[in-house]
Amino acid sequence: MSNILNPEEKYLTRRVLSMQESQTMRISNLANKMKAEGKDIVSLSAGEPDFPTPDNVNQAAIAAINAGFTRYTANAGIPELKKAIVAKFKRDNSLDFQENQIIVSNGGKQTLANTFLALCEEGDEVIVPAPYWVSFPEMVRLASATPVIVHTTLEHEYKMTPEQLEAAITPKTKILVLNSPSNPTGSVYSETEVRNLMKVIEGREIFVVSDEMYDMLVYGDVRPFSPARIPAMKDWVIVSNGVSKTYAMTGWRIGYLAGPKWLIDACDKIQSQTTSNANAIAQKAAVAALNGDQGIVEERRAEFEKRRDYMYEALNSIPGFKTALPMGAFYIFPDVSGVFGQTFNGVVMKDSADVAEYLLKVHFVATVPGDAFGAPENLRLSYAASIASLEEAINRIRRAFK
Ligand code: PLP
């Protein structure tokens, strides 16, 4: 026990005190604790694929270790990986970048944190459409800027309209954050929708941070369209992506960023004085992932699509649940406000935090309450779980709200 009274308040900076703990981690920790106690938990709270890392990727890492590839690398990433990233952008996204426009970081998270640190300071505003990925507003605050949250609706498939964007812009607007496919809603902006949003900001000295982490996980005939495809936006769009979700490599910590060279150089500088290069062995593994046979990506995408179809039908048949059809990623985000005000297990459901707690503690189903994503009427369910687990979860949820 410390002898100092209230050390947090006395010594911690406003920067860290104003941050919130990641809610997704909190509920996962609670679910893990209950699992460790022997409870039969069905967890739909994970933010990572349930598949293993492909074997060719594992073998490349083992070969790297055996070859002694275990030292510092170039801060911005090994040339071989940058080449593979340039080729990936061309192959999958029809984007042309030079190697000096790429930096490799410790996960998509670090690419984004570096970008906000490089571009934001006090007084700057960053437009973040809600529901948002939990870390966007916190990263913006950590960089001393102010997140401006724009609430989207189920009727618009949780996508921001050009009118909403126009209304959110002020002389202080520095960045617009786009995340398509979205965590947590699974929404994907069509080419037309991206073009219409870009028309609003073109010529106004506003950057677009485009988080395309789930670009390879899209369903039906949907194809994601990067704002970096628009020639007029070339100097203003920064694309963040990584191998975490596409190749089930969340623990390897490899993300990458592409954009104007001056900004990549700034991120390089920040990274050189904070973490240095991303893990050398994982960089070799990422080369194998990006350059190897892509068949496994399609196989897994197709499996996620089946699960999405199942979850969409099943959740919409539960009284009080309303959900949009996710077009990408591996999350579904029902509006559960239809059960608010009702009493279950002696507790009145006031918001989705109550719903998530009830589902976890009484029916042993782990989900994430939507307030973590700026949407207190929703619940996030991840379908990165086997169909058998999803069916079990749905049976329990159905029972819970009978
Ligand atoms: N961006 C989005 C939208 C995400 O959902 C995630 C992970 O959950 C990340 C970025 C971060 O990915 P990484 O694990 O590579 O840091």
pLDDT of residue 1 exceeding 80? no
Instruction: Tell me which architecture the domain covering 55-291 has in CATH.
Output: 3-Layer(aba) Sandwich (3.40)
pLDDT of residue 285 exceeding 70? yes
Specify whether the CB–CB gap between 103 and 111 falls below 8 A: yes
Q: What is the mean pLDDT of the chain?
A: 95
pLDDT of residue 315 exceeding 80? yes
Whole-number Å distance, alpha carbon 109 to ligand 1 midpoint, is: 6
Specify whether the CB–CB gap between 263 and 42 falls below 8 A: no
Of 4-8, 104-108, 247-251, the range with the lowest mean pLDDT is: 4-8
Q: Which residues line ligand 1 (CB under 6 A)?
A: 47, 107-109, 133, 179, 183, 211, 213, 242, 244, 250, 255
Reduced to 3 states (helix: H, G, I; strand: E, B; else coil), residue 389 is: helix
Cα(391)–Cα(397) distance, rounded to whole angstroms?
10
- For 113-136, what is the mean pLDDT? 97
Distances in Å between the Cα of 266 and the Cα atoms of 79, 257, 372 are 18, 12, 30
Most ligand 1 atoms within 8 A of CB, residue of 183, 218, 243, 254 to mutate: 183
Whole-number Å distance, alpha carbon 108 to ligand 1 midpoint, is: 5
Q: Percent of the chain beyond pLDDT 70?
A: 99
Whole-number Å distance, alpha carbon 373 to ligand 1 midpoint, is: 14
Give the HSE-up count for residue 262: Cα atoms under 13 Å, Cβ half-sphere.
4
Of 9-23, 103-117, 260-274, 379-393, the range with the lowest mean pLDDT is: 9-23
Looking at the CA of residue 242, tell me the nearest atom of ligand 1: 15
Instruction: Tell me which architecture the domain covering 7-52+296-400 has in CATH.
Output: Alpha-Beta Complex (3.90)
DSSP letters along 19-77, please?
Answer: ----HHHHHHHHHHHHHHTT--PEE---SS-SSPPPHHHHHHHHHHHHTT--S---TT-
pLDDT at 23: 63
pLDDT of residue 25 exceeding 80? no
pLDDT at 22: 65
Every domain of the chain with CATH number 3.40.640.10 lies at 55-291
Composition of the chain by helix, strand, coil, percent to 5: 45, 15, 40
pLDDT of residue 15 exceeding 90? no
Cα(133)–Cα(141) distance, rounded to whole angstroms?
14
Whole-number Å distance, alpha carbon 331 to ligand 1 midpoint, is: 13
Most ligand 1 atoms within 8 A of CB, residue of 103, 106, 115, 135 to mutate: 135
pLDDT of residue 112 exceeding 70? yes
pLDDT at 198: 98
236-245 pLDDT tens trace = 999 999 999 9
- For 115-124, what is the mean pLDDT? 97
DSSP letters along 142-207, please?
Answer: HTT-EEEEEE--GGGTT---HHHHHHH--TTEEEEEEESS-TTT-----HHHHHHHHHHHTTS--E
Whole-number Å distance, alpha carbon 399 to ligand 1 midpoint, is: 33
Whole-number Å distance, alpha carbon 232 to ligand 1 midpoint, is: 27
pLDDT at 344: 94
148-168 pLDDT tens trace = 999 999 999 999 999 999 999
Whole-number Å distance, alpha carbon 47 to ligand 1 midpoint, is: 8
Looking at the CA of residue 329, tell me the nearest atom of ligand 1: 5
Give the HSE-up count for residue 240: Cα atoms under 13 Å, Cβ half-sphere.
27
Most ligand 1 atoms within 8 A of CB, residue of 182, 244, 275 to mutate: 244
Q: Percent of the chain beyond pLDDT 90?
A: 91
290-299 pLDDT tens trace = 999 999 999 9
Distances in Å between the Cα of 155 and the Cα atoms of 55, 116, 158, 194, 311 are 42, 31, 7, 18, 19
Whole-number Å distance, alpha carbon 305 to ligand 1 midpoint, is: 20
Every domain of the chain with CATH number 3.90.1150.10 lies at 7-52+296-400
